């Protein structure tokens, strides 16, 4: 019986590299890699060895005969991919990791950030070179979006962090947490103590709607809302008012579906996850029973992935419907096979009166061709006017139209693309010339696109550029050592590996007492208090 890849696929291609018959596609060297929602097992070629399931970092691969309930759809999805995909199970030429065996002395590299892009970068350097790595993060605990961006009901996805845990114990890795580059230490300090500096800082803010009223109380960005329910210290005090019966989410990507799912889920189901305690308490008192997803374009242009749609569609106790309209009927008349309109066409199409109170029960409404024109209210959000002239009564507006990177102190920044100008990860100055020893990886490099696993190939690309530069003698020799002393002097509240690991241990122990994966500390003082039980 063949295996099938399911919802939590992270697309980092760990499964591809261990498959003895090359039956998992698209592979990293195929054009569709990074464009499909997930990877797929060819059921005709699979020999049922299970190597892919063992290698998968997020437990997304199962024998087809073990799939149950909504997961049975993934057997069909894996099979149907190969009915149209132009792929071959023939082996291509092997590729081997880069190495730097003859570099004089020890290569010292600083990585700013501890999210997936940073960890894949450190992983490649530690495995393929003898480099010494310094990782820095402005928060006391690592993880980036793995900790503060992945929805709490997606615990399997968060398991990819376990694959990075060996990094933190590696003898050639130093950790400096609760240290902000640009405030506590400058780029020049990093460059003076390391041959190379790699920025993996992600995209920390959201795009704005650009309409009147979007700054009213009751209007929040998806970035802040997601961080709030994931216990990010910057958002522990976010005012999230769930007293209205209807919420409006602008956007229809995976983040928008995450927000809708959390708002409509049974809080007691979330109680077994690592959701922030303050968010769980607020959700238990929530009156929200309808969420409207506003999309500017038609169903065929929906931005969510098929796995996230299936997770939302099968949410217990929630009806998902599409609001009727000319664009909807046109898209559903002849949907593209395998496209988003075909997925959405499986839902009921209904006339929905969004100016009145929601109907009984819990409901998710997809509304297409309805960009917001104005957020109305005096003291807080009361309604959203859309450009077709309609109005939606609501007390909560969540803006989920995309992440946006912010400028990095000491580096050039492209305001149009919201990325650090780069070529192959090499940071470029205003004249288009590489800045010696300065690199970027992840969303700050390519923009906020791609899933967690996309960062693996992105990191490999940047590391390859760094090693090429090292081999060519383009890296400057650091002028000084003693970076640890500098950090202690400039950031006395910083913590190192032992303190960081103690926070992790304390959160897990709190979780064990209540049957949860962990109970997170939600503020920096709480995190630092747990860290210092065992010192730096």
Q: Tens of pLDDT along 251-294?
A: 999 999 999 999 999 999 999 999 999 999 999 999 999 999 99
CATH of 108-204+405-494, one of 3.40.50.720, 3.30.930.10, 3.90.105.20, 2.60.40.10: 3.40.50.720
- Asked if pLDDT for residue 351 goes beyond 70, the answer is yes
User: Across residues 148-169, what is the average pLDDT?
Assistant: 88
Model confidence at 536, pLDDT cuts 50, 70, 90, reads very low
Is it the case that residue 321 has pLDDT exceeding 50?
Answer: yes
Task: List pLDDT tens digits, range 178-230.
Answer: 999 999 999 999 999 999 999 999 888 888 999 999 999 999 999 999 999 99
- Quick check: 308 and 254 in contact, CB under 8 A? yes
Q: Which has more pLDDT, 426 or 403?
A: 426
**CA-CA distances (angstroms) from residue 362 to 27, 237, 470?**
40, 27, 58
pLDDT of 532 reads 86
- High-pLDDT (> 70) share of the chain, %: 98
The CA-based angle 334-338-339, given to 5 degrees, is 65
Q: If you average pLDDT over every residue of the chain, what do you get?
A: 92
- The CATH fold assigned to 3-84 is Alpha-Beta Plaits (3.30.70)
Outline which parts of the chain fall under CATH 3.50.50.60: 206-401
- pLDDT recorded at residue 479: 79
Residue 240 has pLDDT above 50, yes or no: yes
- For CATH 3.40.50.720, list the domain ranges present in the chain: 108-204+405-494
CATH architecture of 206-401: 3-Layer(bba) Sandwich (3.50)
Over residues 513-535, the pLDDT tens digits come to 999 999 999 999 999 999 987 54
Q: Express each pLDDT in 77-135 by its tens digit.
A: 999 999 988 888 888 777 766 666 566 678 999 999 999 999 999 999 999 899 999 99
Mean pLDDT for the stretch of residues 60-72: 92
How confident is residue 36, by pLDDT bands cut at 50, 70 and 90? confident
Q: Which ranges in the chain are annotated with CATH 3.30.70.20?
A: 3-84
Q: Which long-range contacts (CB under 8 A, 24 or more apart) does 24-30 make?
A: 24/52, 25/81, 25/82, 25/85, 25/87, 26/85, 26/87, 27/92, 28/457, 29/92, 29/95, 30/87
Tell me what pLDDT residue 304 has. 93
- Tell me which of 454 and 511 has the higher pLDDT: 511
523: cis peptide before it, omega within 30°? no
């Amino acid at each position: 019986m063949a295996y099938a890849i399911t919802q939590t696929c992270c697309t980092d291609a760990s499964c591809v590299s261990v498959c003895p018959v090359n039956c998992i596609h698209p592979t990293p060297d195929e054009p569709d890699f990074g464009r499909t929602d997930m990877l797929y097992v060819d059921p005709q070629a699979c020999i049922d060895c299970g190597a892919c399931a063992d290698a998968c970092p997020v437990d997304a691969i199962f024998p087809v005969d073990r799939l149950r309930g909504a997961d049975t759809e993934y057997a069909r999805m894996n099979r149907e991919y190969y009915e149209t995909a132009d792929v071959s199970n023939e082996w291509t030429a092997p590729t081997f990791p880069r190495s730097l065996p003859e570099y004089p002395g020890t290569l010292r590299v600083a990585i700013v950030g501890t999210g997936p892009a940073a960890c894949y970068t450190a992983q490649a350097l530690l495995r393929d070179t003898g480099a010494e790595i310094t990782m820095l993060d402005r928060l006391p605990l690592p993880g980036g979006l793995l900790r503060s961006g992945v929805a709490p009901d997606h615990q399997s996805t968060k398991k990819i962090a376990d694959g990075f845990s060996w990094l933190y114990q590696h003898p050639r890795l130093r950790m400096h947490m609760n240290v902000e580059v640009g405030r506590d230490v400058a780029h020049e300090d990093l460059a003076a103590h390391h041959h190379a500096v790699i920025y993996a800082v992600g995209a920390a803010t959201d795009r704005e709607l650009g309409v009147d009223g979007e700054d009213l109380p009751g209007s929040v960005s998806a970035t802040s809302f997601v961080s709030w329910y994931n216990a990010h210290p910057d958002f522990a005090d976010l005012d999230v008012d769930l007293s209205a019966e209807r919420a409006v989410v602008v956007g229809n990507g995976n983040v928008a579906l995450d927000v809708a799912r959390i708002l409509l889920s049974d809080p007691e189901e979330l109680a077994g996850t690592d959701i922030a305690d303050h968010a769980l308490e607020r959700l238990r008192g929530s009156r929200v029973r309808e969420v409207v997803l506003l999309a500017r374009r038609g169903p065929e242009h929906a931005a969510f992935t098929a796995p996230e749609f299936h997770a939302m569609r099968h949410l217990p106790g929630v009806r998902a419907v599409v609001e009727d309209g000319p664009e909807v009927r046109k898209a559903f008349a002849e949907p593209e096979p395998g496209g988003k309109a075909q997925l959405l066409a499986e839902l009921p199409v209904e006339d929905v009166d969004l100016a009145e109170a929601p109907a009984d029960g819990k409901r998710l409404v997809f509304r297409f061709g309805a960009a917001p024109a104005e957020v109305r209210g005096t003291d807080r959000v009361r309604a959203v006017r859309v450009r077709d002239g309609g109005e939606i009564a609501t007390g909560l507006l969540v803006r989920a139209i995309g992440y946006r990177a912010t400028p990095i102190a000491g580096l050039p920044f492209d305001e149009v693309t919201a990325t650090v100008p780069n070529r192959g990860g090499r940071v470029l100055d205003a004249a288009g010339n590489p800045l010696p020893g300065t690199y970027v990886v992840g969303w700050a490099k390519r923009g906020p696109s791609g899933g967690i696993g996309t960062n693996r190939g992105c990191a490999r690309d940047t590391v390859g550029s760094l090693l090429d530069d090292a081999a060519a003698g383009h890296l400057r020799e650091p002028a000084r050592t003693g970076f640890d002393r500098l950090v202690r002097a400039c950031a006395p509240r910083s913590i190192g590996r032992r303190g960081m690991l103690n926070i992790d241990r304390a959160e897990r122990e709190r979780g064990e007492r209540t049957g949860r994966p962990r109970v997170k500390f939600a503020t920096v003082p709480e995190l630092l208090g747990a860290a210092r039980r065992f010192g730096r």
